[in-house]
Amino acid sequence: MEEPKRQHPIMILMIMSEHIIPFGFSLILGIFLSIREIWALLVILFIIFLMLFIFAYIKWFMFTYQIGQKELVIRWGVLARREITVSADNLTDLEESTPSIAGFFGVSSLGIEVETGEQKENVTLGFIPKTDKEKIKMILQEKEMPDEKIEEGLEIMYERPAQEQRVLASYQVENSDIILAGATSGRFFMAIMVISFVLSQVQTFLPGRFMELVKELFAGATPVAVIVLLLLVLFMAWVVSTFIYFVQYCGFTVERREEELVIKRGLLEQKEVRIGIHNIQALVMHEGLLRQPLGLLSLEVRATKNSGEGSKNVIVHPLIRSSQLPFFLEHILPGYRFTYTLNSLNPQAYMLYFIQVMPLIMLVSIPFIFLPYGFLIVLALLAGGLIYVNNAFTDTAYAFEENKLILRYRTLSRFTAIIPVGKIQALEISRSPILQGRDLNTIIPYIIGEAGKNSFPLYGLGNDAVWQIRQWFIHWQKSR
């Protein structure tokens, strides 16, 4: 086993930046607004910086990794030391990433998910030499170490395995499509929550006069000015969320290799995700409320992790036009190409969707009846509920080919799942107790994965449709 090693010293600055953003911003702002003497402000800022540096240095110094023949030992912690041993037996997932600053130092990062007893542990080896990263990957993926070594200075450089898979097809998403994906992702609601949290933290350190001034400003503002301000906040949140999305997915490239998909993305930090073709359990098309009218959708796969236990959802295309979908599937995921006509539900199923949604809408509407002009809110809620029921009913459909089951359903967004019959672990069929007298059933195919992410329920199928799907599934099981 090699001697214990530490991450690159640049990691100290990264640790400092991680802690100064959530905790130091509001403190520094409060000090800046409270202290008028510039020299006192500079002294306090220097003390804060020094404390952060000492904390980051100790954390960096105490984090070590040790490479063995068949395992990796990681130790960290200051007051309470922790140690985990990672091997091919307890490794559940491996993810590569290369921050933009790492290129200047010849280092990269490696995210490791390991099973420790009844729970899973996520550990990131940040800013380690690329040679160590390759050795760790070969050890944990049970690949043989190459015999040939090249000595460069004091380091021993291991060549990459000669059996690197050949790239069969490559697809890169244009940056303009990444921006459009961010603009239509609906993530600005999350950005609003982040902005609200930051303001709530800063408010504690703001002078009382400042808060009184804000209250006076809003008290004297006209309704039009308040509406304009709210729209401005929404616009800022939309711009921020679009920018964050662009930073995360810029340069999105997916490569189809002989036995795996390799996905690379990121502006400030390039992440690399590898998915074995045999690990993919289903392909899901996601059409958001803003994207569906424009004929846009995103693609993600439900896949098992390298260990075969647990699952993960991986985006394989952040935004694609419906007209480009056949070309993409033909070259990247040919096993998921489809030529089908979706079968709609029996008209009797409309009542099932109505009963699932409208009673809850009516219950929520009751408090608004007693408010001034509350009937307008009640009418809006009822109209919205009826629109959702109609869309959920008309969008729900199914089809099955020789070796694939296709299900389309709606929550708030519309989803289409393509499931190879060989990946279906179980097929559950049930009937709603509410509408026993009607020809309505629920069908739920299950795939390998975590609870809540491994099923695709479809409500309101008639007896004939359920019988056809059941016979199709039984026929495939017998023919295996």
pLDDT at position 416 is 94
pLDDT at position 160 is 43
> Is residue 323 scored above 60 in pLDDT?
yes
Q: How far is CA 25 from CA 22, 93, 203, 446, in A?
A: 7, 34, 12, 46
> Is residue 263 scored above 90 in pLDDT?
yes
pLDDT at position 438 is 72
User: DSSP letters along 318-342, please?
Assistant: EEEEGGGHHHHHHHH-GGG-----P
Q: Please, what is the average pLDDT of the chain?
A: 81
pLDDT at position 436 is 64
pLDDT at position 203 is 59
Give the whole-angstrom CA distance, residue 189 versus residue 194.
Answer: 9
Nearest to 55 by CA among 11, 16, 6, 14: 16
User: DSSP letters along 362-427, please?
Assistant: HHHHGGGGGSTTHHHHHHHHHHHHHHHHHHHHHH-EEEE-SSEEEEEEESSSEEEEEEEGGG--EE
Q: Are 212 and 257 in contact (CB under 8 A)?
A: no
> Is residue 42 scored above 50 in pLDDT?
yes
What is the set of domains in the chain, with CATH numbers?
A: 10-147 (2.30.29), 168-322 (no CATH), 338-480 (2.30.29.30)
pLDDT band at 406 (very low <50, low <70, confident <90, very high): very high
Give the whole-angstrom CA distance, residue 27 versus residue 163.
Answer: 53
> Is residue 202 scored above 90 in pLDDT?
no
pLDDT tens, position by position, 120-159: 788 888 888 888 888 888 888 765 444 444 333 333 333 4
> Is residue 255 scored above 90 in pLDDT?
yes
> Is residue 336 scored above 50 in pLDDT?
yes
Q: Are 254 and 263 in contact (CB under 8 A)?
A: yes
pLDDT band at 370 (very low <50, low <70, confident <90, very high): confident
pLDDT at position 394 is 94
pLDDT at position 379 is 92
pLDDT at position 220 is 66
Q: Are 2 and 132 in contact (CB under 8 A)?
A: no
- In terms of pLDDT, which residue wins out, 115 or 249? 249
Other CB atoms within a 10 A radius of the CB of residue 439 amount to 16
Nearest to 299 by CA among 388, 416, 184: 416
Q: How far is CA 170 from CA 177, 256, 316, in A?
A: 17, 6, 12
